[in-house]
Amino acid sequence: MDQRKSYRTKINRTVVGRIPATPIRVTVLDLSTGGCAIEVGAVAIPPGTTILLELTRTVEAAGRAVWADANRIGIEFYDRLSADELLSVLRECKDDFDGDQSAMRDQFGSELPPLSAQMRVVPD
């Protein structure tokens, strides 16, 4: 059973991470205000490790690894993202796909509504 505190939106975005000061490339697989799942290459990131993620040019999130399964890591953020920060990341992800609406789907495969200036995310 899923024990997350926040709903996560699936994304596939390569970002820079730092553990603690060593830069590495990671792929963010899903994202919520409270955490994310990342995929790493051959870098071992054991639970408890602190990582800083540069999600966009203006949004960074620091957190700790709470689980690790092969090259996938679950991150819980120390400070939750604000709704505006989350929307900023999602908008930039949408722009990365150049309007490919098939990429904007939730974890169950349902199409997400278009992101607009009027859309609001209510953090839990």
Q: Which residue has the higher pLDDT, 88 or 116?
A: 88
pLDDT in tens, 96-114: 655 444 445 555 566 655 5
For domain 9-77, the question of CATH label 1.10.10.60 is answered with no
Measured distance CA(45)–CA(59) in Å, rounded: 22
The pLDDT of residue 106: 55
Taking the domains of the chain in order of start, what are their residue ranges?
9-77
Measured distance CA(78)–CA(61) in Å, rounded: 8
Contacts of 86 (CB under 8 A, 6+ apart): 31, 32, 33, 121, 123
Q: What number is the average pLDDT over the span 11-23? A: 83
